[in-house]
Amino acid sequence: MEDDTEVARSIAIPRLTRSRQANHSSSAAANGNTDTNTIINNPNAGMVVTRIEDILGQIIEALAAGQELSIPFSARRLSRRAANAQPEEVHFPGRNQQEAVKFARILLILQLSHDALVSGTILTKRHIFYQHQDLFEKQGQVDDLVDDIAFTLGVGRGDLNIVAASKGVLAGPLTIHLHDGSTLNPCSGDLGVAIPTVQSISSVNVQSIKWVLVVEKDAVFRSLCSSQFWQTSMFGPGVLVTKAKGFPDLTTRSFLNYVHTRHPQLPLLGLCDYDPDGIQILRCYRYGSERLNHEADLGIPALQWLGITSAHLSRDHAGTSLRNYESPSQVPITSIQCRDPVTYLTGRERATAISTLKKIHQYSPNDFEVSELRRELQVMTLLGFKAEIEWLDDAGNLCSWLDGEIGEALISDAF
């Protein structure tokens, strides 16, 4: 036990004492230079630096007095279970090895965040893990602690100048200007470019954009990019956005919220599978994540669900609504041109649907978008069916189907 504690002490204490000296010089330099945050724009940097320095100062005082060290810490999951949960503390050397190591990990992240805030740079959680594998056994430990520290300080993760490595990608004729003076052109590559953090963006030019399509699946996104649908759509140029796998990450959601806040007239459209996971992803884009509910409101309730919905499962060929535009007939997903258009829900998916229905009850029952999600989940659970958007792509009908659906959405927005 003593040996393990000494390992944690050797990791934490020397860095703390060195950092405290560096903090004074860094802060002094920052005070003499009003252009410290030249790479990103973080309006809360000063507040967060002050809170971190208060914690570091208390540790230094306890260290000088020979007292046990402590850091205030509140885990998000515990606070969700108990609304009146009191802030906890992590001590060093603590009750056991686990607490000593946890203290060292939290202290390191606080120091790295402080340095990034003072220098105006951004750290990724992935960078923290790979640069400090002597302290972290797996990436998830960094991820959880960063979010818990932000929760403890009462700020968002981005306010720590620590972000997740970009997982979102976008393609289309928009121009993104960054604070460092560089420019991103998402239509220059075959498969788009990584979405930058909002803190690094100075402005986004969407002058020629008619729509933004958020795609759940990376495979569908790649297919649309290869056909340059963002350029060839009959309803004008648009932007394709995807988060490669799983639920939307904070960077992607922040970017979409940034664009929508500054350009509310620009239609945001969602393309998801007709299954409980697809609806969960759409719900996350619209209303945010329970796991990160301490973050600033990044929801986009205005995100329209383009498909797939239950209506597409029963639409027949005569139901085309764009014949006035001389477009190809809309292809229903149940067309004989599609292979195996629907499959049965699994037990896990049924459980996910029921869980999502319960969560949706917390939203306004009079909200049309909320009613839409609830209705589709109820129909899906009753029928026991699901459908994936790739089937349209397999049949070669995805682009024409999207043209029809985007046209309907744009026309409805005009009235």
Compute the residue count for the chain. Answer: 415
CB-CB contact of 182 with 203 (8 Å): no
Three-state DSSP string of the chain: CHHHHHHHHHHHHHHHHHHHHHHHHHHHHHHCCCCCCCCCCCCCHHHHHHHHHHHHHHHHHHHHCCCCEEEEECCHHHHHHCCCCCCEEEEECCCCHHHHHHHHHHHHHHHHHHHHHHHCCCEEHHHHHHHCCCCCCCHHHHHHHHHHHHHHHCCCHHHHCEECCCCEEEECCCEEEECCCCEECCCCCCCCEECCCHHHEEEEECCCCCEEEEECCHHHHHHHHHCCHHHHCCCCCEEEEEECCCCCCHHHHHHHHHHHHHCCCCCEEEECCECHHHHHHHHHHHHCCCCCCCCCCCCCCCCEEEECCHHHHHCCHHHCCCHHHCCCCCCCCCCCCCCCCCEECCHHHHHHHHHHHHHHCCCCCCCHHHHHHHHHHHHHHHHCEEECCHHHHHCCCHHHHHHHHHHHHHHHHHC
Rounded to 5 degrees, what are φ and ψ at 138?
-150, 160
How is residue 302 written in tokens? Answer: 């205005």
CA distance 256 to 174: 13
Backbone angles phi, psi at 207, to 5 degrees: -55, -40
Cα 239 → chain centroid? 18
Closest CA to 377 of 240, 263, 266, 283: 283
Tell me the catalytic residues. Answer: 130
